[in-house]
Amino acid sequence: MKSINNSRGKKYILDYEKLQTGDIILQSGKSITSYAIRCFTLSRFSHAMIMLTDRAIIHANNDVNVYINDLRFLLVDKKTDLEVLRIDTNLSKKEKQDIEEFLRSKVGTKYSTNEAFKVSPIFYKTRNIENKKQFCSRLVSQAYNHIGYKIVKNTDFNSPKNIKNTILEELNDISNMVREATEKEINFARNSSNIVDEQGKSLKEFIDEVGKLFKKDFNNEYDIIEFIINNNSADKPISEFLKENKYFNGYLSYINTFSDFLYLDKFKIYIQKIPNLQIQLKENSYYLKKEIERINQNLITTQKNIKTHGLEFFKLKEDGYKNMISVYLLQLSNYLKAINEDSVTKKEYQKFIASFKQFDIKPYNLKANGF
């Protein structure tokens, strides 16, 4: 998804407010690798991604494996560099939930350049369909296959070109999904820290390091969890890695990166520069609440694992999730202090924050924690 460059002139961005869970995004990249893929497959497109929810997309690339990223960082030079495909009848609510669950389960899964090249028919005899690794178009086609849609002839070995030329008649391109980026959007993409991208790289590093330690080819975090459950002696050394890894201590990076939103005095100064402040605050509050809810589901799953297996690994993950929720609650509470009217929505958010007290999770106390 590396499309941001420092050249002047117009930039284009996906109109993410129009996107739906399950939308397929095809991209014509500008890197040497992207150029090679386009030449190799004789296609306009070199990369395939899929929409999760709100502004989040998921895709596989060689730098970060399978990871979730923020659409606001996806800027391109030409309108034709991006295309969106969607099922004509739209996915049902159940299908959207199932495809999102499937895709999130693949986060951190290793990328395989070798498997990606086997898309070509000349490598037919060397294909290994039991390989668990991913590449961009495999991830997309397998996700759709999971919910009952066969969009390409070979779900395991296909290219962005195959997805564009789909065998599913109901899957078609959607017009008016790419627009010119505003100056504000361009500045955000160029100058903001992409913490989601950093977390993806940290997870890749964690999986690789644990694999080296035990001389095993762990494909994703779930492989490591299964290994720890079946080999309790591995819990302590893996937990030591976990303590130092940025992915599971993401709240610390978040505090350092987004201090303007977390320190109330800084926040009051920061919001003076924001046009359409009230609209922006309400929009950001909505997205933040959704993210807190998602992390809370991960927390619940982790707490179930603690009850079943114990293990320090799960207890550390529990602490990480609680801290991240706590930091987000602090940010949300700052938003609410800046929202003018005493609206029903504002009261609902206040009730939402208060609901976490029963789990001993409160808005993060920066001073008490040494910040």
Residues 19/188, Cβ–Cβ less than 8 Å: no
Structural tokens at position 284: 């950001």
Would you state the structure tokens that stand for residue 6, as one six-digit string?
Answer: 């420092």
CA 94 from chain center: how many Å?
20
Contact 246, 199 (CB under 8 A): yes
pLDDT, tens only, 330-360: 999 998 888 876 667 788 888 999 999 888 9
pTM: 0.82
Percent of the chain that is helix, strand, coil (3-state, to 5): 55, 10, 35
> How confident is the model over 133-192, as pLDDT tens digits?
899 999 999 999 999 999 999 999 999 999 999 999 999 999 999 999 999 889 888 887
The two structure tokens encoding residue 292? 């807190």
Nearby residues of 54 by Cβ (< 8 Å), 6 or more positions away: 16, 287, 290
CA 133 to chain centre: 18
Q: Where in the chain is the domain with CATH 3.90.1720.10?
A: 12-180
Under 8 Å CB-to-CB from 310, ≥6 apart: which residues?
none
Q: Which of 109, 45, 34, 105 is nearest to 80 (CA)?
A: 45
The structure tokens listed for 80 are: 């034709």
d(CA 161, CA 30) in angstroms, rounded, equals: 16
Tokens of 173: 């391109």
Backbone angles phi, psi at 265, to 5 degrees: -65, -40
User: What is the rounded CA–CA span in Å between residue 202 and residue 223?
Assistant: 17
Residue 269 is predicted with a pLDDT of 87
Q: How far is CA 5 from the centre of its chain?
A: 21
Rg over alpha carbons for the chain, rounded to the nearest Å, is 22
DSSP assignment of 142-194: HHHHHTT---SS-SSS--HHHHHT-S-TTEEEESS-EEEPPHHHHHHHHHS--
Which fold, 12-180? endopeptidase fold (from Nostoc punctiforme) (3.90.1720)
pLDDT for the residue numbered 7: 55
Distance in angstroms (rounded) separating the CA atoms of residues 175 and 160: 18
Report in angstroms the alpha-carbon separations of 184 from 180, 190, 258, 357.
12, 10, 18, 37
Q: Is 60 helix (H, G, I), strand (E, B) or coil?
A: strand
Predicted local confidence at residue 136, as pLDDT:
93
The pLDDT profile of the chain, 371 residues, written as one tens digit per residue, is: 555 555 567 999 999 889 999 999 999 877 777 767 777 777 788 899 999 987 889 999 888 899 998 888 999 999 999 999 999 988 999 999 999 999 999 999 999 888 888 887 766 666 666 568 899 999 999 999 999 999 999 999 999 999 999 999 999 999 999 999 999 889 888 887 788 888 888 889 999 999 999 999 999 999 999 999 999 999 999 999 888 877 778 888 888 888 888 998 888 888 887 778 888 888 888 888 988 998 999 999 999 999 999 999 999 999 999 999 999 999 999 988 888 766 677 888 889 999 998 889 999 999 888 88
Please tell me the predicted confidence (pLDDT) of residue 275: 76
Task: Look up tokens 């609510």; give the residue.
Answer: 93
